[in-house]
Chain A
Amino acid sequence: MTAMPCLNRQRGRSMNPDNNNQGQSPEPSLRHQPAGQQRGSRERQRIRLEAVSKQWGDTVAVDAIGFDVTPGEFVILLGPSGCGKSTTLRMIAGLEQASAGRIHIGERDVTHLPPGDRGISMVFQSYALFPHLSVADNIVFGLRSRKVPKAERRERLARVAQLVDLEAYLERKPAQLSGGQRQRVALARAIISEHPICLMDEPLSNLDARLRGEMRREIKALQQRLGMTVIYVTHDQVEAMSMGDRVILMQDGGIVQDGTPDELYDRPATAFAAGFIGSPAMNLVTLAAAADGAVIDGEPHCSVAAHEAKGHWLGVRPEDIRLLPADAPGVPAEVIDTEYLGADSIVSLKVGGQRLRARLEGRPELAVGSACCLQWRHEAAHFFDAGSGRRLAITGHDLAAPSGRHRFASGGARATAATAVQDGEARASSNHAGNDSSGVNR
Chain B
Amino acid sequence: MLIHNADRRMQIYGALLLLPAAVLLGTFAYLPTVATLINSFFLPGFRGAPPEFVGLENYAMLVEDATFWKVARNNLLYALGTIPTSIALALGMALFVNARLPGRGLVRMAYFTPTILPMIAAANIWMFFYAPQIGLFNKLLGALGLSGVNWLGDPGVALTSVIVMTVWKEAGFFMIFYLAALQSIPPELKEASDLEGTSRWSFFWRVTFPLLMPTTLFVLINALINAVRVVDHLFILTKGGPNNATNLLLYYVYENAFSFFDRTYAATITVVILLVLAVVATLKFTVLDRRTHYQ
**Which residues of A are at the interface with B, using a C-beta cutoff of 8 A?**
14, 93-95, 114-117, 120-122, 124, 126, 128, 130-132, 141-142, 144-146, 173, 175, 189, 193
Contacts and interface: CB of A to CB of B under 8 A. Distances in A.
Given A130-B207, A131-B211, A132-B210, A146 B196 contact: yes
B196 A145 contact: yes
Given A131-B293, A132-B210, A122 B193 contact: no
B7 interface: no
Interface stretch (B15-23, B72-80, B86-94, B184-192): B184-192
B116 interface: no
B50 interface: no
A31 B263 CA distance: 81
Given A126-B186, A126-B188, A145-B202, A132 B194 contact: no
For chain B, the bracket of interface size reads 20 to 34
Given A130-B207, A131-B295, A142 B196 contact: yes
Given A115-B191, A131-B295, A145 B211 contact: no
29 contacts: A94-B194, A94-B195, A114-B197, A116-B196, A116-B197, A122-B191, A122-B192, A124-B191, A126-B186, A126-B188, A128-B186, A128-B188, A128-B189, A128-B191, A131-B211, A132-B207, A132-B210, A132-B211, A132-B293, A141-B198, A141-B206, A142-B196, A142-B197, A144-B206, A145-B197, A145-B198, A173-B293, A175-B295, A193-B196
Interface string B199-216: 100100011001101000
A189 B189 CA distance: 13
B192, B194, B202, B295 — which one has the most chain A CB atoms within 10 A of its CB? B192
Contacts of B195: 93-95, 115-116, 120-122, 142
Contact of B194 (A95, A126, A146, A175): A95
Given A131-B293, A132-B211, A95 B197 contact: no
Nearest to A118: B195
Contact of B196 (A124, A131, A141, A173): A141
Nearest to A95: B191
Contact of A128 (B192, B198, B213, B295): B192
Contacts of A131: 211, 293, 295
A141 B191 CA distance: 13
Secondary structure at the B interface, as helix, strand, loop or mixed, is helix
Contacts of B196: 116, 141-142, 145-146, 193
Contact of B197 (A117, A122, A124, A189): A117
A126 B185 CA distance: 13
From A93, A130, A132, A193, residue with most partner B Cβ within 10 Å: A132
Contacts of B213: 132
Contacts of A130: 189, 206-207
Contact of A124 (B192, B198, B202): B192
Interface in B166-195: 186, 188-189, 191-195
A65 B198 CA distance: 30
Contacts of B198: 116, 141-142, 145
B288 to A, nearest CB: 14
B222 to A, nearest CB: 22
A126 B189 CA distance: 10
A115 B194 contact: yes
A129 B180 CA distance: 20
A210 to B, nearest CB: 25
Contacts of A95: 191, 194-195
Given A126-B188, A128-B188, A131-B211, A141 B193 contact: yes
A116 B210 contact: no
A116 B199 CA distance: 10
Contacts of A128: 186, 188-189, 191-192
A114 B194 contact: yes
Given A114-B197, A124-B191, A131-B293, 8 more contacts: A14-B197, A115-B191, A124-B192, A130-B206, A132-B207, A141-B193, A141-B196, A142-B197
Nearest to B295: A131
Interface centre among A114, A120, A131, A146 (most CB of B within 10 A): A131
Contacts of A132: 207, 210-211, 213, 293
A189 B216 CA distance: 29
